[in-house]
Protein backbone atom coordinates (compact mmCIF):
# COMPACT_ATOMS: atom_id res chain seq x y z
CA UNK A 1 0.00 0.00 0.00
CA UNK A 2 1.32 3.42 -0.96
CA UNK A 3 1.20 6.52 1.27
CA UNK A 4 -1.54 7.99 -0.94
CA UNK A 5 -3.61 4.85 -0.41
CA UNK A 6 -3.12 5.12 3.36
CA UNK A 7 -4.51 8.63 3.26
CA UNK A 8 -7.50 7.45 1.24
CA UNK A 9 -8.07 4.51 3.59
CA UNK A 10 -7.94 6.79 6.62
CA UNK A 11 -10.45 9.23 5.07
CA UNK A 12 -12.82 6.53 3.83
CA UNK A 13 -12.54 4.61 7.09
CA UNK A 14 -13.25 7.74 9.12
CA UNK A 15 -16.41 8.28 7.08
CA UNK A 16 -17.33 4.59 7.42
CA UNK A 17 -16.95 4.82 11.22
CA UNK A 18 -19.23 7.81 11.48
CA UNK A 19 -22.96 7.40 11.82
CA UNK A 20 -23.47 10.82 10.23
CA UNK A 21 -21.83 12.87 7.46
CA UNK A 22 -18.64 14.80 8.28
CA UNK A 23 -17.65 18.23 7.00
CA UNK A 24 -14.59 18.46 4.76
CA UNK A 25 -12.58 20.46 7.35
CA UNK A 26 -13.46 18.00 10.11
CA UNK A 27 -12.53 15.04 7.91
CA UNK A 28 -9.23 16.65 6.90
CA UNK A 29 -8.40 17.44 10.54
CA UNK A 30 -9.30 13.92 11.66
CA UNK A 31 -7.12 12.34 8.97
CA UNK A 32 -4.21 14.70 9.65
CA UNK A 33 -4.50 14.08 13.41
CA UNK A 34 -4.49 10.28 13.11
CA UNK A 35 -1.75 10.07 10.48
CA UNK A 36 0.57 12.55 12.20
CA UNK A 37 0.24 10.76 15.53
CA UNK A 38 1.23 7.44 13.98
CA UNK A 39 4.00 8.63 11.65
CA UNK A 40 4.74 12.19 12.74
CA UNK A 41 4.07 15.22 10.54
CA UNK A 42 4.59 14.42 6.87
CA UNK A 43 3.84 16.49 3.81
CA UNK A 44 4.04 13.33 1.71
CA UNK A 45 1.15 11.83 3.61
CA UNK A 46 -1.07 14.89 3.36
CA UNK A 47 -0.10 15.82 -0.21
CA UNK A 48 -3.07 14.14 -1.82
CA UNK A 49 -6.21 16.20 -1.66
CA UNK A 50 -9.26 14.69 -0.07
CA UNK A 51 -11.20 16.53 -2.78
CA UNK A 52 -10.13 13.74 -5.15
CA UNK A 53 -12.41 11.39 -3.24
CA UNK A 54 -15.36 13.49 -4.38
CA UNK A 55 -14.14 13.71 -7.98
CA UNK A 56 -13.73 9.94 -8.08
CA UNK A 57 -17.24 9.40 -6.74
CA UNK A 58 -16.07 7.81 -3.48
CA UNK A 59 -17.78 10.43 -1.32
CA UNK A 60 -20.75 12.65 -1.90
CA UNK A 61 -21.63 15.92 -0.32
CA UNK A 62 -24.92 17.12 1.03
CA UNK A 63 -25.23 20.89 0.66
CA UNK A 64 -28.94 20.92 1.48
CA UNK A 65 -28.28 22.25 4.98
CA UNK A 66 -25.88 25.03 4.05
CA UNK A 67 -23.34 26.38 1.64
CA UNK A 68 -20.63 24.45 -0.17
CA UNK A 69 -18.16 25.17 2.64
CA UNK A 70 -20.64 23.64 5.09
CA UNK A 71 -21.16 20.54 2.97
CA UNK A 72 -21.21 17.27 4.84
CA UNK A 73 -19.41 14.31 3.26
CA UNK A 74 -20.48 10.69 3.37
CA UNK A 75 -19.44 7.49 1.60
CA UNK A 76 -20.96 6.37 -1.65
CA UNK A 77 -21.36 2.68 -2.50
CA UNK A 78 -18.22 3.03 -4.63
CA UNK A 79 -16.47 4.61 -1.65
CA UNK A 80 -17.40 1.71 0.59
CA UNK A 81 -16.16 -0.77 -2.04
CA UNK A 82 -12.86 1.16 -2.31
CA UNK A 83 -12.57 1.15 1.49
CA UNK A 84 -12.94 -2.66 1.58
CA UNK A 85 -10.40 -2.96 -1.27
CA UNK A 86 -7.87 -0.77 0.54
CA UNK A 87 -8.38 -2.69 3.78
CA UNK A 88 -7.24 -5.78 1.90
CA UNK A 89 -4.05 -4.06 0.69
CA UNK A 90 -0.70 -5.75 1.18
CA UNK A 91 1.43 -5.44 4.27
CA UNK A 92 4.88 -6.71 3.40
CA UNK A 93 6.33 -6.55 6.88
CA UNK A 94 5.49 -4.88 10.14
CA UNK A 95 8.77 -3.11 10.80
CA UNK A 96 8.75 0.16 8.81
CA UNK A 97 6.92 3.39 9.59
CA UNK A 98 4.57 3.00 6.63
CA UNK A 99 3.84 -0.59 7.65
CA UNK A 100 3.14 0.65 11.17
CA UNK A 101 0.62 3.11 9.75
CA UNK A 102 -1.02 0.42 7.61
CA UNK A 103 -1.25 -1.87 10.64
CA UNK A 104 -2.83 0.93 12.70
CA UNK A 105 -5.36 1.67 9.95
CA UNK A 106 -6.25 -2.01 9.61
CA UNK A 107 -6.71 -2.36 13.36
CA UNK A 108 -8.77 0.84 13.55
CA UNK A 109 -11.21 -0.23 10.83
CA UNK A 110 -11.03 -4.04 10.95
CA UNK A 111 -14.35 -4.33 12.76
CA UNK A 112 -16.10 -2.64 9.81
CA UNK A 113 -15.32 -5.55 7.48
CA UNK A 114 -17.45 -8.62 6.91
CA UNK A 115 -16.37 -11.50 9.13
CA UNK A 116 -14.81 -13.56 6.32
CA UNK A 117 -12.66 -10.64 5.13
CA UNK A 118 -11.79 -9.73 8.72
CA UNK A 119 -10.67 -13.31 9.41
CA UNK A 120 -8.60 -13.37 6.22
CA UNK A 121 -6.92 -10.07 7.12
CA UNK A 122 -6.07 -11.29 10.62
CA UNK A 123 -4.52 -14.45 9.14
CA UNK A 124 -2.43 -12.36 6.75
CA UNK A 125 -1.27 -10.05 9.55
CA UNK A 126 -0.39 -13.07 11.67
CA UNK A 127 1.58 -14.65 8.80
CA UNK A 128 3.53 -11.43 8.23
CA UNK A 129 4.29 -11.15 11.94
CA UNK A 130 5.48 -14.76 12.09
CA UNK A 131 7.76 -14.18 9.09
CA UNK A 132 9.21 -11.11 10.80
CA UNK A 133 9.77 -13.16 13.95
CA UNK A 134 11.50 -15.96 12.02
CA UNK A 135 13.78 -13.40 10.37
CA UNK A 136 14.77 -11.85 13.72
CA UNK A 137 15.24 -15.27 15.35
CA UNK A 138 17.58 -16.32 12.52
CA UNK A 139 19.54 -13.10 12.94
CA UNK A 140 19.73 -13.62 16.70
CA UNK A 141 21.00 -17.18 16.26
CA UNK A 142 23.61 -16.12 13.72
CA UNK A 143 24.92 -13.27 15.89
CA UNK A 144 24.54 -14.81 19.34
CA UNK A 145 28.21 -14.19 20.22
CA UNK A 146 28.31 -10.51 19.32
CA UNK A 147 28.23 -7.42 21.52
CA UNK A 148 25.64 -7.39 24.27
CA UNK A 149 24.06 -4.19 22.96
CA UNK A 150 23.17 -5.91 19.70
CA UNK A 151 22.11 -9.24 21.18
CA UNK A 152 20.05 -7.42 23.82
CA UNK A 153 18.31 -5.42 21.12
CA UNK A 154 17.60 -8.62 19.18
CA UNK A 155 16.09 -10.17 22.32
CA UNK A 156 13.89 -7.12 22.75
CA UNK A 157 12.72 -7.43 19.12
CA UNK A 158 11.98 -11.14 19.59
CA UNK A 159 9.85 -10.38 22.67
CA UNK A 160 8.01 -7.59 20.85
CA UNK A 161 7.22 -9.80 17.87
CA UNK A 162 6.19 -12.73 20.08
CA UNK A 163 3.84 -10.43 21.98
CA UNK A 164 2.41 -9.10 18.71
CA UNK A 165 1.98 -12.64 17.37
CA UNK A 166 0.19 -13.76 20.52
CA UNK A 167 -2.05 -10.70 20.43
CA UNK A 168 -2.96 -11.30 16.78
CA UNK A 169 -3.73 -14.94 17.60
CA UNK A 170 -6.07 -13.79 20.38
CA UNK A 171 -7.98 -11.65 17.88
CA UNK A 172 -8.45 -14.66 15.63
CA UNK A 173 -10.21 -16.76 18.24
Per-residue pLDDT, 111: 95
Per-residue pLDDT, 165: 96
Per-residue pLDDT, 11: 94
Per-residue pLDDT, 71: 76
Per-residue pLDDT, 95: 65
Per-residue pLDDT, 9: 94
Q: Which 3 state secondary structure label does DSSP give 138? A: helix
The low-confidence residues of the chain, meaning pLDDT below 70, are 41-48, 63-70, 92-95
pLDDT (tens digit per residue) in 135-153? 999 999 999 998 999 999 9
Per-residue pLDDT, 149: 93
Per-residue pLDDT, 43: 54
CA distances from 8 to 27, 45, 69 (A): 11, 10, 21
- The neighbouring-strand residues paired with 73 are 22, 61
Domain at 1-97: CATH code: 1.10.10.10
* 109: number of Cβ within 10 Å: 21
Per-residue pLDDT, 62: 75
Per-residue pLDDT, 46: 56
Q: Work out the angle at residue 30's Cα, subtended by the Cα atoms of residues 75 and 124, and round it to the nearest 5 degrees.
A: 70
Per-residue pLDDT, 45: 53
Per-residue pLDDT, 150: 94
Amino acid sequence: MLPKECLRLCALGTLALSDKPISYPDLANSVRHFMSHIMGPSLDMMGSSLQLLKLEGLVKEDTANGTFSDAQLCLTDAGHAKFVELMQGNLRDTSGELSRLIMALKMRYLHLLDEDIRTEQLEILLDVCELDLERVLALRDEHANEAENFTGWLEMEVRRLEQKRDWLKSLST
